[in-house]
Amino acid sequence: MMGYGLAVASAAAWGVGLMIFISVAAGAAGAAEELLSAYNLTGGGGGGGCGLFYGKWAVDGTYPLYNNNGCPFIDPQFDCLKYGRPDKSFLYYTWKPAAAAAGSCNFPRFEGGDLLKRWRGKKIMYVGDSLSLNMWQSMACMLHSAAVAAARASFSYARNAPIPYVAFKDYDLTIHFYHSNYLVDLVKETKGMVLNLDSIQQGGDVWKSMDVLIFNSWHWWTHTGTSQPWNIVQDGTNSYKDMDRLEAFRKGLTTWGKWVDQNVDPQRTKVYFMGISPSHYMGKEWGSPSKTCSGEKLPVEGSMYPAAAGEAIGPEEVVKKVLNGIRKPVYLLDITLLSELRKDAHPSYYSGDHPGLDCSHWCLPGVPDTWNHLLYASLLQ
């Protein structure tokens, strides 16, 4: 049984990121159209879906959905305008799915007031690394803007709590962030910090009490040297100083998949997995070898990311195989391609909490708002 809900359905996005299962060479329009009709976002296996993850960016003067000065939840590292970014052009883009542009389906505008009502009485949790933090704060800002507009803006914010949260009191809605770079356990033992590929003890009990879970992992699996937080990888009874990172990721993600099957009640909890968020440190990926994200003011034109054409597939194939073995539905948010096109939307040097050049995280308002827009659209399918 292929029980991963949107996992097959969401293969309509192309690129080299974590959630992109199919790489389409530039110019393969016919293949793209065929795939768009075959793989649609179906909202959990239902009919009448819409391929939302393949398209292009377009200027839209009605954006952004909130003002950075009006949102109390943005960390300094994401608050590019506050810390001196001189241009604002990155704010005024909206994602245009190809299928929606062709009239074959509708991509609804994000309506924060509607989502506040749909999520009334719910507990939502973003689980992952700092890209999940980026997405969590984006959603908090989007909902806060809607709550203010409805004159129901009472909230509590606990950024420094063990598990940070924003609670919208008038809606009995709480949105949490759980920091977990690997999803599996990272524990301190006598032999040092141990990454245990077979264990999810640290967060599992908290996660399974949620109504909606949005998971993310990949970036930290590639860290080495001083940026690597573990000394030992524990794989069953075997301990290693290091191992193939893609294989380690496969084992860790398989453990997470088993956790989903053993602990998630699909009648109560909806599970999402967010695709990898790309970085833009190497301009050769978009045809400008001497550049980084610094100074970039425009998205990549069109619907294909140049570096994706013809590249070998890596972690996304791992994800495909792991999700294929999960019996419970997991909904994929294939944000990689649309994010790859946005070389202009990183903090660059305009971060209040990230020394040096940051071409990994995203300014807020910005691209993570679209990730959450796609999450909202999936609820309406």
Nearest alpha-carbon partner for 93 in 67, 131, 65? 65
| pLDDT of residue 45 exceeding 60 | no
| pLDDT of residue 143 exceeding 90 | yes
pLDDT of residue 47: 30
Mean per-residue pLDDT, 103-118 = 91
pLDDT of residue 334: 86
**Cβ atoms of residues 255 and 197 within 8 Å:** yes
Per annotation, catalytic residue among 346, 354, 361, 373: 361
pLDDT of residue 28: 34
The average confidence (pLDDT) of the chain is 86
Domain assignment present for residue 96? The answer is yes
174/156 Cα distance (integer angstroms): 9
Q: How far apart are the first and last CA of the chain?
A: 22
Known catalytic residue: 358? yes
Cis previous bond, 365, omega within 30: yes
Mean per-residue pLDDT, 179-193 = 96
Mean per-residue pLDDT, 84-92 = 97
Known catalytic residue: 303? no
Nearest alpha-carbon partner for 125 in 5, 182, 208? 208
pLDDT of residue 32: 34
* Spatial CB neighbours of 205, under 8 Å, sequence gap ≥ 6: none
The phi-psi region of residue 196 (left if phi > 0; otherwise alpha if psi is between -120 and 50; otherwise beta) is: beta
Number of domains in the chain: 1
pLDDT of residue 5: 36
* Spatial CB neighbours of 300, under 8 Å, sequence gap ≥ 6: 286, 306, 340, 341, 342, 343
Domain assignment present for residue 168? The answer is yes
pLDDT of residue 30: 36
Nearest alpha-carbon partner for 5 in 259, 330, 265? 330
Q: Identify which has the larger pLDDT, 334 or 234.
A: 234
pLDDT of residue 321: 81
Per annotation, catalytic residue among 79, 344, 358, 369: 358
Q: How confident is the model at residue 97 (pLDDT cuts 50, 70, 90)?
A: very high
Q: Identify which has the larger pLDDT, 334 or 299.
A: 299
pLDDT tens per residue across span 292-311: 999 999 999 988 888 765 55
| Six-digit token string for 48 | 């009448």
- Token look-up 């948010």 returns 333
Domain assignment present for residue 323? The answer is yes
pLDDT of residue 353: 84
**Cβ atoms of residues 350 and 90 within 8 Å:** no
Domain assignment present for residue 1? The answer is no
Q: Within 13 Å of residue 28, how many CA atoms lie on the same side as its CB? A: 17
Domain assignment present for residue 230? The answer is yes
Burial of residue 378 (CB within 10 Å: 0-12, 13-18, 19+) is buried
**Cβ atoms of residues 85 and 348 within 8 Å:** yes
| pLDDT of residue 59 exceeding 90 | yes
**Cβ atoms of residues 198 and 184 within 8 Å:** yes
φ/ψ (deg, to 5) at 216: -160, 135
Domain assignment present for residue 11? The answer is yes
| pLDDT of residue 285 exceeding 60 | yes
Look up the domain containing 21 and give its range: 6-380
Helices then strands, counting H and E runs in the chain, come out as 10, 13
Q: Is the pTM of this model over 0.75?
A: yes
Known catalytic residue: 239? no
Domain assignment present for residue 287? The answer is yes
Q: What percent of the chain has pLDDT over 70?
A: 85
- Token look-up 């391929």 returns 51
φ/ψ (deg, to 5) at 313: -90, 135
| pLDDT of residue 40 exceeding 60 | no
Per annotation, catalytic residue among 10, 79, 130, 378: 130
pLDDT of residue 311: 53
